[in-house]
């Protein structure tokens, strides 16, 4: 279980997170929605310790993350970065198998490669992509390779930052199903950021909406349409008129 308590983060004058409280149950899929620039990516990076919050606490299974052993802590996580963040000096398969080739999860090269190719298949890519370099792939292909890397070591907790952005509708469907499958079959805990409402409805058990530095609304995905919250209504129906300013 992941618990955030009173998380604050500013960059200079820019108050991005202003007291975020949220909890994510083990084995559940939480989807974070919210306007562009509201700090969704910052939120995920704070949990991973890539950004140090100014204030507040992050607990994973009851333990404060700042007290946890970093290596053991990170070994439980997988992350798909918004921009892919593939290592462009390494071929695709070595990107995917990065974790399987070093450290505590190290295994023979052939085995790591086989796993990488299997993960490629799961994100809808053929094995001939394995030996190409990230720069030779299209944006959507890079995103999927990055997704394959995030799930390669079968982590307990997986963060997906906009997994379907830049994909065609069919591929989006494949990826949504994959994320759902990872949560249901592997029992992983997932946190997904997305702007795609179809994704939200396929992936989510629960959703949370980030607005003005706080969680505006959180609850089961089934309650989303009858939340009675004007902000969430405006957001999920994509209306220009409403309490959320269009110019931010």
Partner 1 sequence: MTGALGALGSAVLAMLASIGRVVIFAANTVKHLALHPFYPREFFQALVQIGWLSLPVVGLTAFFTGGALALQIYAGGARFSAEAVVPSIVAIGMVRELGPVLGGLMVAARVASSIAAEIGTMKVTEQIDALVTLSTDPMKYLTLPRVLAATLSLPILVAVGDAIGIFGGFLVGVNRLDFNSAAYLKNTVDFLETADVVSGMVKGAVFGFIVALMGCYHGMNSGRGAQGVGRATKSAVVAASVLILGANYILTEVFFTS
Ligand X SMILES: Nc1ncnc2c1ncn2[C@@H]1O[C@H](COP(=O)(O)OP(=O)(O)OP(=O)(O)O)[C@@H](O)[C@H]1O
Where in 53-82 is the site for Mg ion (CB under 5 A)?
Answer: 82
**Among positions 2, 7, 29, 40, the unique one binding ligand X when judged by CB under 6 A:** 40
Applying the rule CB under 6 A, the residues between 117 and 136 that interact with ligand X are none
Query: Nearest-CA neighbor of 29 among 145, 178, 169?
Result: 178
**Distance from CA of residue 122 to its chain's centroid?**
17
Residue 217: strand, helix, or coil? strand
Q: Shortest distance, CB of residue 138 to partner 1, whole angstroms?
A: 16
39 binds ligand X (CB under 6 A): yes
Q: DSSP state, 81?
A: B
Kindly tell me which residue out of 15, 57, 82, 127 binds ligand X, with binding defined by CB under 6 A.
82
79 binds, among ligand X, Mg ion, partner 1, none (CB under 5 to 8 A by kind): partner 1
Of 146, 120, 140, residue with least CA distance to 131? 120
Query: SS in 3 state form for 12-55?
Result: CCEEEEEEEEEEECCCCEEEEEECCCCCHHHHHHHHHCCCCCCE
From the list 2, 42, 123, 167, which residue makes contact with ligand X (rule: CB under 6 A)?
42
218 binding ligand X? (CB under 6 A): no
By CB under 6 A, name the binding residues for ligand X. 11, 14, 16, 34, 36-42, 82
By CB under 5 A, name the binding residues for Mg ion. 41, 82
């Amino acid at each position: 279980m992941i618990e955030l308590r009173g998380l604050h983060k500013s960059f200079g004058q820019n108050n991005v997170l202003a007291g975020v409280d949220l909890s994510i149950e083990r084995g559940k899929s939480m989807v974070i929605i919210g306007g562009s620039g509201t700090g969704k990516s910052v939120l995920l990076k704070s949990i991973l310790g890539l950004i140090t919050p100014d204030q507040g606490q992050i607990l994973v299974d009851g333990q404060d993350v700042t007290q946890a052993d970093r290596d053991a802590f990170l070994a439980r996580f997988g992350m798909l970065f918004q921009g892919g963040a593939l290592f462009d000096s390494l071929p695709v398969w070595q990107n995917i198998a990065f974790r399987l080739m070093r450290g505590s999860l190290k295994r023979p090269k052939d085995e790591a490669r086989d796993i990488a190719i299997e993960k490629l298949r799961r994100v809808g890519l053929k094995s001939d992509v394995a030996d190409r370099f990230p720069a030779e792939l299209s944006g959507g292909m890079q995103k999927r390779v990055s997704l394959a890397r995030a799930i390669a070591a079968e982590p307990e907790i997986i963060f997906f930052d906009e997994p379907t952005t830049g994909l065609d509708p069919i591929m989006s469907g494949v990826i949504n199903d994959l994320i759902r499958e990872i949560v249901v079959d592997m029992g992983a805990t997932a946190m997904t950021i997305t702007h795609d409402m179809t994704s939200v409805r396929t992936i989510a058990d629960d959703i949370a909406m980030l607005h003005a530095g706080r969680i505006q609304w959180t609850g089961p995905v089934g309650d989303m349409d009858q939340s009675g919250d004007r902000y969430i209504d405006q957001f999920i129906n994509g209306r220009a008129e409403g309490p959320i300013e269009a110019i931010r």
